[in-house]
């Protein structure tokens, strides 16, 4: 699965993913702290990088669904920083590109003027079948608030980086891409 995000105005809109693997390992993939992940090894999620300037290409996240038996759940989220307009003014779009079937576009344009983060989709492995559920839940905090809302239980340090040690079925035979722009 591949995902991509893009916004209509030049803002620093970042894409991230809270992950939980079947072995109980939990963490985050995000630009902050350079936690870009790995598509061929745990956590089987990889972020293309940090688009710091709001370019038209946005950010792209890859999920290796060939490793679905190792994945329990993934929460894909987007967040914006201070001095950035509210989500409804960014015209942000998160697009899921499943390995088969049409792309799925999710607009982040609901009016939540003080929201800094948005849980976009939950990807869950239920009996070795991958399900994607639209969330679009806005929160007024950052990653730690999303963690609390969804019960991840990570210990967060400064600048919203976790401290170390801390409905649609998709064909799971190929990678998935998630993109925000």
Which tens digit of pLDDT belongs to each residue from 87-140? 777 778 888 888 777 888 888 877 777 888 999 999 999 998 889 999 999 998
Query: What percent of the chain has pLDDT above 70?
Result: 72
Cβ–Cβ under 8 Å, residues 87 and 138:
yes
Kindly state the tokens that stand for 78.
Answer: 């987007």
Superfamily, domain 2-180 = sav2460 like domains (2.60.60.30)
- What's phi and psi for 66, nearest 5 deg? -65, -20
- 154-to-18, 163, 169 alpha-carbon distances in Å: 10, 8, 28
Q: Which three-class secondary structure state does DSSP give residue 49?
A: coil
If one counts every other C-beta atom within 10 angstroms of the C-beta of residue 4, the result is: 23
State the pLDDT at residue 84.
Answer: 63
This prediction's pTM: 0.81
Domain ranges of the chain: 2-180
């Amino acid at each position: 699965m591949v995902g991509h995000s893009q916004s209509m105005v030049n803002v620093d809109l970042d894409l991230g993913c809270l992950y939980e693997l079947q072995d109980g390992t939990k963490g985050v993939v995000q630009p902050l702290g350079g936690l870009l992940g790995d598509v061929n090894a745990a956590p089987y999620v990889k972020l293309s990088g940090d688009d710091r300037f709001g370019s038209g290409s946005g950010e792209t996240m890859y999920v290796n669904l060939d490793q679905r038996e190792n994945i329990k759940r993934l929460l894909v989220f987007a967040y914006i920083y201070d001095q950035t307009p509210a989500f409804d003014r960014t015209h942000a779009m998160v697009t899921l590109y499943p390995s088969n079937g049409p792309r799925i576009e999710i607009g982040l344009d609901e009016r939540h003027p003080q929201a800094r983060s948005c849980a976009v989709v939950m990807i869950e492995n239920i009996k070795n079948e991958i399900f994607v559920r639209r969330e679009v839940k806005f929160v007024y905090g950052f990653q730690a608030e999303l963690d609390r809302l969804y019960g991840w239980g990570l210990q967060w340090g400064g600048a919203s980086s976790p401290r170390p040690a801390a409905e649609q079925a998709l064909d799971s035979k190929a990678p998935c891409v998630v993109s925000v722009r």
